[in-house]
A and B are shown apart, each in its own frame.
Chain A
Amino acid sequence: MSNDTLTPDAAPQKNDRTKMVASETEVAIEIVDMHKWFGDFHVLRDINLKVMKGERIVIAGPSGSGKSTLIRCINRLEEHQEGQIIVDGIELTGDLKAVDEVRREVGMVFQHFNLFPHLTILQNCTLAPIWVRGTPKAEAEKTAMHYLETVKIPEQANKFPGQLSGGQQQRVAIARSLCMNPKIMLFDEPTSALDPEMIKEVLDVMVKLAEDGMTMLVVSHEMGFARQVANRVIFMDQGQIVEQNEPEKFFHNPQHERTKLFLSQILH
């Protein structure tokens, strides 16, 4: 584990930032006038969002504000009813082929890890590359070991998920997604189910990923992480994006009343 501190007050490291420049021309995700309902409930209202390649966006907001639903729409774990979502140049519609194509390019990390408990760590990481991408087994295992080293648990490769701690499981989940060589990574509250001692080991991996230039959308309340790596922080309330800004401005000079209230609740 690296020795970088990740306390909420840690100043952003300038030299890291310069490595993490987002593209100015290539669009990774474009969401236009998007609405979604759960039955009668209007859960996402008029979402417009453009994410450039290499950008890192942290999405915050009170519970029930629709932030998880938003990123779940991006790989169509949820369907939207109106508007457009275009991921890596492919529009998400009812077309299952397009959905499969997008899912191959978009990795997702869940709050509750969702590792496959009947498979070993290595099998968790190689299953999709072998059966979705058609990668030969030996090559898939080599890639998997590489990413397990990236998340610093190659020695657990032959264990089952149930034998690992929460933090280790979440790092495996990240490695499992990376094995598909995704262009975009979605994180749905990746540290919310973890003990305080384990949050740092997961965040360290995510920081490393950001430094390597991955396009990332992170639903999280880890404000230290947001300050350190995010280009933009998006604040959602009642299914709408009510504020977005660079982290420094977002934290020190929030514009919207709801944002101020939220920040006063979580930053003591």
Chain B
Amino acid sequence: MGRLMQFEGRRLLRQTSLYICLGILVLMVFVSAFSTYSMVKLMGEDASTAIMLASGLSPGDLMCGKGYLISAAGSSSLLMLFGIAAALYFCADYTGGTLKNIIGRGNSRSSVFLTNQAYVMVMGLIFGVICWLSGLFFGSLFWGLGKNWDVSAILRQLLLQMLVMWAFGAFYSFWSVLVRKTGWAVALCILTPGLISTMAALLDIFTTKKDFLVSNYWLTSCLTYASTPGAGAEDVSRSILVALAWFILFCLGGWLISRRQDV
């Protein structure tokens, strides 16, 4: 297992697409901060009001290094780029035929899946950290660091973001191990999170119990709560449980599929 970890680790770190996706992520965070900055500069009070109405937060909470540190992960580009990189990483062994060399020399399907899953989590951590740092950097660059730093609250939200990212990582691994084709896996990883969100939102419309929202039990909502500065304790607690449940479910599903697959 140690050699497999070393082998897969080298593969991850030498995956060009990982660096390309990370580069695009940094660029997207910059574009997001810059466009908000330009909009506020051009429109003045109107833009601030619009931001307040859209997020329910004061512009001061959002438009600063602290605000962008927490909220940068909420952009759809993070999930999309992480999904692409994870699918490319996971499917490379299937499409290149290298899985034959790995399994054929005595590595079990379970250990291969778990190692890959572990590295998708590492990838999630890399994406998360880069996203936070670039959010903090560009937010501070345009508006300054921000006031009232409640470090423990920020850490709690960032940890929740990471948990949700790992649950998404398990979701991407699940699709990759199921379809085993790079193109399909990338497409599914990009499209399905949004598709499930839309379906959940549609179900919410038809739900009679107004205190129960289906969409609250899908990962996208969890990430929204995790990346909203000052999110409520109840939402955060529920998001932790939901993310954990999906993480376990997708890991288990992917592992069961991989165990019975011919290579």
Instruction: Note whether A and B form a binding pair.
Output: no
Q: Which residues of B pack against A, CB within 8 Å? A: none
Q: Which residues of A pack against B, CB within 8 Å? A: none
